[in-house]
Amino acid sequence: MRMTAWAVLRRMLRRRRGPLTASYLLHAVWATSEALVPVVIGAVIDRGILTGDGGRFVLWLGVLAALMLVLSLGYRFGAQIGARASETEAHELRAEIAGHVLHPQGVRTDRLPGETLSLATSDADQVGLLLRIVAFALASLTGVVVVAVYLLRVDLGLGLLVLVGVPVTLGAVQLVTPLVSRRTDAQQELVASATGVATDLLAGLRPLKGIGGEAAAVARYRHASRAARDASTSTARAYGYLFGLSTLLSGVLLAVVALVAGRLALHGEMTLGELIAVVGLTQFLAEPMSGLGHISAFAASAHASAGRIAAFLAAPRLVVAGETDTPAAEAGLELTGLAVGPLRELTLRTAPGRFTAVHVDDPAAADALVDVLSGTRLPEAGYVRVGGTDLHALSIAARRAAYVVSPHHAHLVEGTLRSTVDPDGRLAPDALADVLRASAADDVVALHDRGLDAPVAASGSTLSGGQRQRLALARSLGTATPLLVLHDPTSAVDAVTERDIAAGVRALRHGAPGSHGALATVVITASPAFLDQADEVVTVRDGRTTGRGTHRELLARDPAYRAAVLR
């Protein structure tokens, strides 16, 4: 079932109903006590001061002190419970968003990383804040009811004036709410977009400098930032209209209540203490009426945030996975009649112990093949089998046990060189040294005084493109999975290093007898160094398999291959 904004808000209220109820009850105690303060002050005057009765004076002063203590404690603990519930809900939403992003199958979304970050911060906080607003609004309503009941007891007309005037005033204020809702939704979306652009800009600052693209990137961010600024100004203006109208109408109502009470006092229909109580109650009513008037605007903002969170959580998984948990029995890869995107009829078979290179004439076709093998794209026709089992029937755990696909673009997370190459810390020192040497990543380690403990920034931004590629290759080699698929693993590396890496991968995966004999390696590449190391090269032209043989055999008999490789 697709999650909606209302579903997110209902779920929040349902799973926080305990703290929300406690917070509301304590806030109601606070609001009731605060409403009764002017009433008790009136009683002090009427029954203690005007009568000259010292005992009653002290008694009502004691009641007033007790009332102040109760309202103070009620607000303190009610606000504390409400704040804890609000922050807990926001935390769980952040964890849910992070869990959706970090799920083994990933998430298919066009949101920039900064926009996702905005969902997990400002939007999650906005949704959680609604809990506190709801508790305060319910307490405010309780306070208004207490005031109305007291005024009805003093004078029927005064009580009816409040009972009728408050709903009319709040209803008039709601006329501005749709404007606030629309502008708030637009503002939050534009702010999230600006955050995403800023994050994207910072992450790509180094390559931007390399191609002289800073001016274009800054102009793009400036445009997004100005749009967010203008939307924020527009939203603030709409809130100003809302607050101004609420204050005006509330002020008119309270002024009328005070005027009617004053006329009653002048005609002797109300005692001095009651007049003071009514004046105090009109001042008290200003806060709950303001809160009730603004609740719809806060709710609209929370609804907009909940809608964005719901849409993100409903985003489909990136990787299509099955339920077969049994790992592939062997490392063989079989593609038969595969058609997807530019690929029309691709056939490929590689057996355990074989080092296979695939030379594709179209980069888009190579990308489509990698997408299929990664599980992020379904074939339009044909099938893909790993170890005799249909690829898309395998679960994520089974896939990880059977094979690894290392894409062309290296993705590194913040940590150290050691954690980048060996994230789980499972490699023995000798095995770690082997994968570093095979990928030429030992040269990267040698550049740092701290060796493998040298820090790596997020996305490897402190490293060159070639260094990132070598570390990503070392990480892939370290998994030692039965099947390893590499896509242009050395495109950012110089020719000499590329030759050493091709020989190193060959030696590590296939050069030793025994355990390495069961491994299979597939490299999608145009690199002569890798093509020369392969046991077999499969050529793909116009989306179809057109030939196979060793690198040297194809050079001798295939002019198109020779022209593509030697150009």
Q: What DSSP letter does each residue of 152-216 carry, written as one string?
A: HHH-HHHHHHHHHHHHHHHHHHGGGHHHHHHHHHHHHHHHHHHHHHHHHHHHTHHHHHHHT-HHH
The residue ranking higher by pLDDT, 178 or 229, is 229
pLDDT band at 514 (very low <50, low <70, confident <90, very high): very low
Q: What is the mean pLDDT of residues 160-175?
A: 74
pLDDT band at 516 (very low <50, low <70, confident <90, very high): very low
pLDDT tens digit sequence for 23-36: 999 999 998 998 89
Q: What DSSP letter does each residue of 494-539 carry, written as one string?
A: -HHHHHHHHHHHHIIIIISSGGGGG-EEEEE---HHHHHH-SEEEE
pLDDT band at 413 (very low <50, low <70, confident <90, very high): confident
pLDDT the model gives residue 546: 93
Beta-bridged to residue 339, according to DSSP, are: 381
pLDDT the model gives residue 443: 92
Contact 518, 331 (CB under 8 A): yes
pLDDT the model gives residue 331: 72
Find the largest Cα–Cα distance for the chain.
Answer: 121
* 490 token code pair: 């050395």
- Cα 434 from Cα 505, distance rounded (Å): 10
Choose the most confident range, by mean pLDDT, from 68-77, 140-149, 163-172, 329-338. 68-77
Choose the most confident range, by mean pLDDT, from 49-58, 215-224, 473-482. 473-482
Q: How buried is 119 (Cβ within 10 angstroms: 0-12 exposed, 13-18 middle, 19+ buried)?
A: buried
The residue ranking higher by pLDDT, 295 or 209, is 295
Sorted by sequence, the CB contacts under 8 Å of residue 8 that are 6+ apart come out as 127, 306, 307, 309, 310
Contact 356, 522 (CB under 8 A): yes
Angle among Cα 45, 48, 49 to the nearest 5 degrees reads 60
pLDDT tens digit sequence for 189-226: 676 667 667 666 666 666 666 666 677 777 777 877 78
SS3 content of the chain, % helix, strand, coil (to 5): 70, 10, 20
Q: Lowest-confidence range among 147-151, 188-192, 394-398, 400-404? A: 188-192
Q: What is the mean pLDDT of residues 106-135?
A: 84
Q: Lowest-confidence range among 293-297, 348-352, 372-376? A: 293-297
Distances (CA, A) of 286 to 147, 248, 258, 292, 293: 12, 11, 12, 10, 10
* 324 token code pair: 């077969």
Q: Lowest-confidence range among 86-95, 169-178, 442-451, 528-537? A: 169-178
pLDDT band at 418 (very low <50, low <70, confident <90, very high): very high
Sorted by sequence, the CB contacts under 8 Å of residue 338 that are 6+ apart come out as 345, 346, 347, 348, 369, 372, 379, 381, 382, 383, 384
- Cα 480 from Cα 509, distance rounded (Å): 8
Coil, helix or strand at residue 548: strand
pLDDT the model gives residue 348: 92
Question: Could you tell me the sign of the dihedral formed by the alpha carbons of 145, 293, 166, 280, in that order?
Answer: positive
pLDDT the model gives residue 29: 92
Q: What is the mean pLDDT of residues 333-350?
A: 92
**Size of the chain, expressed as the number of residues it contains:** 567
The residue ranking higher by pLDDT, 26 or 233, is 26
pLDDT the model gives residue 207: 63
Angle among Cα 126, 131, 134 to the nearest 5 degrees reads 115
pLDDT the model gives residue 515: 40
Which of 459, 460, 488, 463 shows the shortest CA–CA distance to 473? 488
Q: What is the mean pLDDT of residues 555-566?
A: 90
Contact 421, 474 (CB under 8 A): yes
End-to-end Cα spacing for the chain = 54
pTM beyond cutoff 0.75: no
Exposure of 82 in the CB half-sphere (CA atoms within 13 A): 24
Assess whether pLDDT exceeds 60 at residue 534: yes
Give the Cβ contact number of residue 563 at 10 Å: 9
Which of 176, 545, 170 shows the shortest CA–CA distance to 382? 545
Assess whether pLDDT exceeds 70 at residue 349: yes
pLDDT tens digit sequence for 302-325: 888 898 899 899 888 888 777 887
pLDDT the model gives residue 474: 95
Q: What percent of the chain has pLDDT over 70?
A: 89
Which of 403, 351, 398 shows the shortest CA–CA distance to 510? 351
Strands 520-524 and 483-487: parallel
Which of 510, 419, 411 shows the shortest CA–CA distance to 461? 411
Contact 89, 131 (CB under 8 A): yes
Whole-number average pLDDT of the chain: 84
Coil, helix or strand at residue 467: helix
Contact 297, 129 (CB under 8 A): no
Q: Going from the N-terminus, what domains does the chain have, and what CATH number goes with each?
A: 5-313 (1.20.1560.10), 333-566 (3.40.50.300)
Contact 148, 278 (CB under 8 A): no
Q: What is the mean pLDDT of residues 525-530?
A: 94
What secondary structure letter does DSSP report for 91? H
- Cα 340 from Cα 313, distance rounded (Å): 28
Which of 519, 512, 467, 475 shows the shortest CA–CA distance to 494? 467
Q: What is the mean pLDDT of residues 551-565?
A: 92
Assess whether pLDDT exceeds 90 at residue 178: no
Q: Lowest-confidence range among 12-21, 71-80, 216-225? A: 216-225
